[in-house]
Amino acid sequence: MVRVIAHSRHIVAAGSEVIHSRSCVVLKSPVFVAFAILFAVMPLVGCGKLSKHPIVSVAVGEVITNPKVAEALGEPITCSSNVSGSSRDTDGVAILQFDAIGIKGKGLVVVEGKKLGNEWGITALEIRLPDGGGRLVLTGDLEKRSGSDTPKFDPTASPTSVDGSQSKAPADVEIVLPPGAPLEPPK
C-alpha cells in the first residue's frame, strides 16, 4: 500500500480513501499515486530528450576539442547530460544550455540553433565562465572546423531562380496605381 501525504484541507480524489489527521490528508489512490510519479519523472524525461538534440551533440564535440576551452577549464573536459532550455520544431528555434567541466573549473555552454528544412544548424555557441570570467565565443571556431552553410556574397553574380537557372529582368515594367493620392482621406 502506498500512502501519499498532502498538506491541504480541500483535496478531492475520486475513488480515494481519505484519512483526516489535523491539517494533513493521507490519500491512498492509485490515480493520485500515478500522477505523483508522472510529475516526479517528467523533468528527467525532458532532459533526456534535449541531451540527444542534434545541436547538442555538435556543441559537445566542439567544446571537448576546442583549445580555448581546454585552456580556460583544463583537460580533460566533460559535458553534463543535464540539458535545459527549449527546442521548438514549429518555428525551428532551439536555445539549450549545459555544463562543461574541466580540472580548473566549469562553464555554462549556451548553444542556439535554427532548423532549415529537416536539418538543424548552430547559429551561436559560447561558454559563460563563472565568477565574472567572461565568455568564450566558439561560433567562429566551429565554422572554421566544420564549414559554414551560408553562401559567400558575390556582388558580380547573376541572379538565379529557385531551380538554379539564370533569370533576366524584364526590359520594361509598368505599375498601374488606382486613382487618388495614397494619403488622401476617403470622401
Write out pLDDT tens, residues 125-170: 999 998 888 999 999 998 888 776 566 677 887 666 556 566 677 7
Give residue 150's pLDDT. 61
Residues 94 and 126 in one domain: yes
Give the length of the chain.
Answer: 187
> Model confidence at 180, in pLDDT bands (50, 70, 90)?
confident
Cα–Cα distance, 137 to 68 (Å, whole number): 9
Give residue 53's pLDDT. 87
Mean pLDDT for the chain? Answer: 76
Cα–Cα distance, 161 to 150 (Å, whole number): 17
Residues 24 and 70 in one domain: no
Give residue 89's pLDDT. 80
The alpha carbon torsion through 173, 174, 180, 184 (nearest 10 deg) reads -10
DSSP string across 11-70: ---TT-EEEEETTEEEEE-HHHHHHHHHHHHHHHHHHHHHHT-HHHHHHHHHHHH-HHHH
Residues 97 and 59 in one domain: yes
Residues 28 and 98 in one domain: no
Mean of pLDDT values over 52-62: 90
Domain-located, residue 132: yes
Domain-located, residue 7: no
List the domain range (segments joined by +) for residue 103. Answer: 55-146
Mean of pLDDT values over 13-25: 48
For residues 107 and 73, is the Cβ–Cβ distance under 8 A? yes
Domain-located, residue 62: yes
Mean of pLDDT values over 106-123: 90
> Model confidence at 103, in pLDDT bands (50, 70, 90)?
very high
Number of domains composing the chain: 2
Q: Which 3 state secondary structure label does DSSP give 183?
A: coil
For residues 141 and 68, is the Cβ–Cβ distance under 8 A? yes
Establish whether the linkage from the previous residue to 30 is cis, with ω within 30° of 0. no
Domain-located, residue 20: yes
Share of the chain above pLDDT 70, in %: 61
Domain-located, residue 106: yes
Q: Which 3 state secondary structure label does DSSP give 142?
A: helix
Q: Which 3 state secondary structure label does DSSP give 108?
A: strand
Grid cell for residue 84: 535545459
> Could you tell me whether strands 106-116 and 93-101 are parallel, antiparallel, or unpaired per DSSP bridges?
antiparallel
> Model confidence at 79, in pLDDT bands (50, 70, 90)?
very high
